[in-house]
Structure formats: C-alpha cells, structure tokens
Amino acid sequence: MTRRKRSLRQIIAQTLTGLVIALLAQPSWAVPQEGTPDPGEGLTAFQTILYFLLAPLGLFLAIVVVGYAIHRPRERRSTSGNVLTEIK
C-alpha cells in the first residue's frame, strides 16, 4: 500500500472516530430524569459483598478456567526411539 493511501485511510479513520465521539457526547442524547434525583435505598452488607467481592471473583475464576481449558498442557508422547531427543 502506498504511503498516500495509508495516510488517507488514517485521516478518514480519525475523522470518523472524532465525529462519532462528538455526536455521542451531545447533551441531546441524554435521557431526562424522571422524578427527583434522591438516592434510593442503600445496599445491605450481603449485597455489598456479593456485588463487589463475590461477583468479580467468580468472573475472574471463570475466565481463568476457560483460559486454562484452552491452553492446558497436552499429554506427552513417548520419545523412545526418537533420534532428535536422544544422544548415544
């Protein structure tokens, strides 16, 4: 790809990204609040522990299990008679 095409592609990508960000940041996209902005009921101690400790820990462990399942060590094949691993 020529240098000119690459720079044109980069300019277009940056312009479109800036345009999307500018459009989404407009206050006209904001949802008006209904009623008063008073806070609701607080969380109980159990809900706090569940939401901020157990849920993230469970997600982390699920990701670890999936990652290990994909990349777990395979069973070793027997190397007897392989000239590449033996020196006599």
Residue 88: per-residue pLDDT: 62
Span 56-67, mean pLDDT? Answer: 95
Residue 77 has pLDDT above 80, yes or no: no
* pLDDT level of residue 34 (50, 70, 90 thresholds): confident
b/e burial code for range 13-43 (CB count within 10 A of at least 16 → b): eeeeeeeeeeeeeeeeeeeeeeeeeeeeeee
Residue 79: per-residue pLDDT: 57
> pLDDT over 90 for what percent of the chain?
32
* pLDDT level of residue 25 (50, 70, 90 thresholds): confident
